Structures are given as structure tokens and as C-alpha cells.
Structure 1
Amino acid sequence: MRCFKFKAVKKHVSNWIKSSNYDLKTAEYMFKTQRYIYVLFMCHLSVEKLLKGLYEVVLEKVAPKTHNLIYLSKAVVLKLPEKHLETLESLNDLSIVTRYPEDIDALVKAFKKERVERYLKRTKELIKWLKKDKRLKIS
């Protein structure tokens, strides 16, 4: 029974990682098509999925249905460098406003190409750092 559980966890975590990669690639495509709000949304989602993969490995249970990156990072006891913590906090703060914008025109105006490009770059750096976590490398 233990072996079956391990195989199931391994497959599930692998799926989180693949899905995170897919979402990051989608963020890149959204950037090319100037759909900047969706870039931010997909950046958040990509990080969220990696954290959920870590959650399932570390806590050995199904990740909660939450979008709170801070909660997930604390649950898996991540020791984030300051620059990655800032990225995580920023993406976390943007989650609700990009998901449910109260004023789409104001949101689009606030997130121009250069600003969103910085978020995309910082997200890629954070994801690269997260993927180095040995706990994600289950064999």
C-alpha cells in the first residue's frame, strides 16, 4: 500500500510541475499578445502550482484549494531570499485584483508592458529557485 501511495504522490507532484510550466509558458504568450493582466494571473498560477506540489510532498496530503502563496510557502517552510519573498508577496497581492478586477480600465492602465515584463522576469527567477528545492525531486 505504501508503494502505491508513493507512486500516486509522485505522479500528482509531477503533474503540478508540468502544469506550472504550462502556465508560465502561457504567461509568456500573453505577454507577446499584450494581454498583460493575464500575464500576472498566469505568473501567480504558475508559482501557486509549484508550491502545491511542494505542499503535497512535504505534508503528504492533498494541497488545499487556496490561492494564497504566503500560506503555501509557510506551510512548506520555505526560506526565501528577500527578492523572491518580495515577488511572492507582490504576486499574492495581485491575485484578487487580476482575478476579479473592479475597474478593468484602471487595471489595464496600471500594468503597462515594462512593469509586467519585470513581474514576468521576477516570476521566472522565483520559479527557477523553487525548482531547485530537493523536495520536488522525488524518485
Structure 2
Amino acid sequence: MINTQKQIDYWKNSALSDIDTAEILFKKNKLKECLFFCHLTIEKILKAHFTKIYNQIPPKTHSLNYLIEKIEISIDDDIFNLFGILMNYQIEGRYPDYEPERLSVDETIELLKKTKEVLKWLMQMLLN
């Protein structure tokens, strides 16, 4: 049996660390890397939810859509679209022969902002 709260705290703290890293990377004009860490942020906070609901270690997946489906949280089209974009950058981070669309600084800052908003929302939901 796992220590559920310890696992939840691990995923939450890791997500918070990753969003900080995403911001640092953005400031260094590392846009693809910033988006990779945005993906990690959302993946980890979803895994915190999974752990809370199922009282077990989350599956070894990077699919945001799979995780959101498993934890049965309803998301709107904006969040669904954000997840789709971020999924492209998690693939690129792991498979260098895959080249996602290059986004502008303005597009990247908007995705970073949305990631932070979704993170805040999902963190708040963990308290309920």
C-alpha cells in the first residue's frame, strides 16, 4: 500500500517546480523546452489527481487526454486544445527526430499563461 498523501505531495511539488522551470526557459528564449515543461507540469498535476482518486501510483503515460479521462474531470475546449498542443512538445522532447510547429514568443507566452491557469485550477480541485 502506498502513502497516498506523500505521493500526491510529490506530484504537486514536482508540477510546481516544472512550471518554474518553464518560466526560466521562456526567459532564456528556449520556447520548445518551455512548452515541454508546460506539458510536464500538467502531466504531474493530473497524476496527483489520479493518485488521490485511485490510491495508487499513476500509470507510466505522458498522455494528458488519457489521464484526464481516467480522473473524470470535465474540461472545456480551450483546455482540450491546450493539451493537444502541449502533447506535440512532449513528443519532441523525447524523440528529437519529431519536429513540432515552431511557435512565436507571443504564442508561447499565451500557452505558458494558460498552463499556469490550468495548474492553479487543478491544484484547487485537489483540496476538495
Q: Give me the whole-angstrom Cα distance separating, in 2, the residues matched to 1:128 and 1:26.
A: 16
1:91 maps to 2:86 = yes
Q: Scaled by the length of structure 2, what TM-score is found?
A: 0.89
Paired with 2:124 and 2:77, the residues of 1 have a C-alpha distance of 17
Q: Percent identity?
A: 30
Indicate which of 115, 118, 130 corresponds to 2:110: 118
Cα RMSD of the aligned pairs, angstroms, is 2.0
CA contact (8 A) 2:19 2:41 kept: yes
The Cα shift of 1:131 comes to: 1.4
Q: How does 1:1-139 map to 2 (within 5 A)?
A: 8-102=3-97, 110-133=102-125, 136-137=126-127
Offset at residue 103 of structure 1 (A): 6.3
Aligned residues: 128
* Cα distance per residue 1:60-82 (max 9 Å; x no partner): 21101110000000000011122
- CA deviations on 1:81-132 (whole Å, 9 max, x unpaired) are 222222122212332124323266xx5x822311211111111111112112
Contact kept, 8 Å, 2:92 with 2:98, in 1: the verdict is no
TM-score by length of 1: 0.83
Distance 1:55 1:103, change over 3 A: closer
Distance 2:40 2:108 in 1: 15
Gaps spanning 5+ residues in structure 2: where? none
